[in-house]
Structure 1
Amino acid sequence: MISSVITIARPKSDSATVAAVDLARAALVEEVGAADVGDHLGHVVEGERVVTHLFACLRPGYVGWQWSVTVARASRSKDVTVDEIVLVPGDAAIVAPPWVPYRERIKPGDLSPGDLLPVDDDDPRLVPTYLFGDDPLDADDKAQIRAVAQDLGLGRVRTLGPEGRDLAAQRWYDGDGGPEAPIARSAPDHCSTCGFLVRIAGPLSELFGVCANGDANDDGRIVSFDHGCGAHSEVRLAKKHEPPPPPVPVFDTLTVDEVEILS
């Protein structure tokens, strides 16, 4: 087997375009004004007889940015011309963070009444109900067929697929209703043994339930079985934490006359 190594030739430096610093500066000053142009920072060979000269930018608010002036020389010509002038960020420049689409920036709790958040037609979390049904783990084939038929006639067009369920489970498990929440770490026991845990149906029921304790922070929310809080149904106070018993009642036999005598 014969292997070959491909080498890419770098463009040669052209002395005329490299030396055209004054030409590049003059064109830059004419374009943006002398007050915004700083020292010459060097040059970059872009191609054959094409060089970009870099100048410091002194414009307020653009610390670390550079003026880029590209010059070129035609073949067999002695004249160097200016191709373009642009402002580019340097290594120490302050630049805006990468743009994130609005749909990806929305977090739980951002929606207000009346806001609409459409779901993409090809959302990987959802699949057609007639292909997947509501509970792929249901061992009763007839029950599965009935659920699919109901959705086809009256119910939903799409339902959660495996990817959507996995994403939801991971999000819930890593969130405030999971085992790593601060309140769960100090809990006396897990939700799996709490009488206020309401079971749910489907594959997610193997790991999650709903809290029904009106005194708990997670009331009405999804919690993992290994989550927990201080409002567990079986929690009991230790004797040292119980309130002290009231004092023994004393029957007061003093009369008004006796009180006057004592005073």
Structure 2
Amino acid sequence: MADVTRTATRAPKVDQACAEAVDIARGAITEEAGHIGEHLNVVAEGDRVVTHYFACDLPGYRGWQWAVTVTRAPRSKHVTVCETVLLPGGDALLAPGWVPWHERLHPGDLGVGDLLPTPEDDDRLTPGYMLGGDPEVDEVAWELGLGRPRVLSPLGREEAAQRWYDGENGPDAPISLAAPRTARCVSCAFYVKLGGSLGRMFGACANVYAPDDGRIVSLDHGCGGHSEVLIDETVIPAPPTIYDDSIVDEVE
């Protein structure tokens, strides 16, 4: 059986000459950069290659460090500088990671004059010539050249329905929970049912006095502006007649 030779990676040792070149490393930081703090430590990068770390006192760069890598040739005591760089430390103040614009958007971010392009491969949409699963829409959308270029896909309808139902216009909104249980939108005269499959669960509020006026609401949403909420008039009894008889003239 052949012997198996295992080669272990040898950790580099700190070169003494390079480790002692603190002043050379400090001098490599340009005067324009400045703000060099105390010497922090030395790390061996390889044979006769070490990196010196200095604290950075630049305003706004809390926790950052200057890193200066130095080296020397074999059998030479002359230390030279390889590179200098400003690096973040463990507790450095860093800017948030970059996020693509389409992942930074939140509901309601679109403002007046803004343009929001829709990706060609948006899963929420499907070509208008394909059946999207909504009978009332499919009657028109399937005809080439007559329908819209794209319509909501089943996934797009499902995501919209779940978002509306879980939001401020669903049954668990604070205004809905505070309303009488009989004051549901489905029985309100101001409830305008949506067309298509979304109309099974949602409609639009048409009560000018309601906070949801002009918005999509679920049929089990509710508020105090229900058309059939009636307040019984309270009959206030007339006050009793009070006679002041503290001073009465007695007559025989």
| Fold in common (TM above 0.5) | yes
Partner SS, residue 210 of structure 1: strand
* 1:9-60 superposed Cα distances (whole Å, 9 cap, x missing partner): 3642332444443322121255623xx0111222344455443322111122
Does residue 65 in structure 1 map to residue 59 in structure 2? no
Does residue 197 in structure 1 map to residue 196 in structure 2? no
Partner SS, residue 66 of structure 2: strand
Rounded to whole Å, the distance in 2 between the matches of 1:81 and 1:170 is 64
Contact 1:11 1:48 in 2 (8 A): no
Partner SS, residue 172 of structure 1: helix
Return the letter of the residue paired with 2:22: V
Return the letter of the residue paired with 2:119: D
Structure 1 equivalent of residue 141 of structure 2: 148
Contact 1:209 1:225 in 2 (8 A): yes
* 1:199-223 superposed Cα distances (whole Å, 9 cap, x missing partner): 2133322322211222211111111
Does residue 210 in structure 1 map to residue 204 in structure 2? yes
Does residue 94 in structure 1 map to residue 86 in structure 2? no
Task: Calculate the TM-score normalised by the size of structure 2.
Answer: 0.76
Does residue 52 in structure 1 map to residue 51 in structure 2? yes
Partner SS, residue 22 of structure 1: helix
Q: Kindly, what percent of the aligned residue pairs are identical? A: 55
Partner SS, residue 204 of structure 1: helix
Task: Calculate the TM-score normalised by the size of structure 1.
Answer: 0.73
Aligned length: 232
* 1:178-217 superposed Cα distances (whole Å, 9 cap, x missing partner): 2232212212133233332222133322322211222211
Greater share of residues in helix: 1
Q: Work out which of the residue numbers 154, 159, 166 in structure 1 matches 2:158.
A: 166
> Where does structure 1 lack aligned partners over 5 or more consecutive residues?
1-5, 249-263
Change (3 A) 1:25 1:129: same
Rounded to whole Å, the distance in 2 between the matches of 1:127 and 1:200 is 20
Structure 1 equivalent of residue 226 of structure 2: 232
User: Superposition pairs for residues 1-263 of structure 1, below 5 Å?
Assistant: 9=9, 11-16=11-16, 17-28=18-29, 30=31, 32-33=33-34, 36-47=35-46, 49-73=48-72, 78-133=77-132, 136=133, 138=135, 146-150=139-143, 152-189=144-181, 190-237=184-231, 242=233, 245=236
Partner SS, residue 153 of structure 1: coil
Mean Cα deviation higher: 204-213 or 54-63 = 204-213
Rounded to whole Å, the distance in 2 between the matches of 1:230 and 1:43 is 71
Return the letter of the residue paired with 1:25: R
* RMSD of aligned alpha carbons: 3.2
* 1:92-139 superposed Cα distances (whole Å, 9 cap, x missing partner): 222222233344444444444433221111222112122233xx154x
Contact 1:29 1:37 in 2 (8 A): no
Contact 1:64 1:91 in 2 (8 A): yes
Change (3 A) 1:119 1:199: same
Contact 1:69 1:83 in 2 (8 A): yes
Contact 1:71 1:84 in 2 (8 A): yes
Off by >6 Å, runs of 4+ in structure 1: none
Contact 1:67 1:88 in 2 (8 A): yes
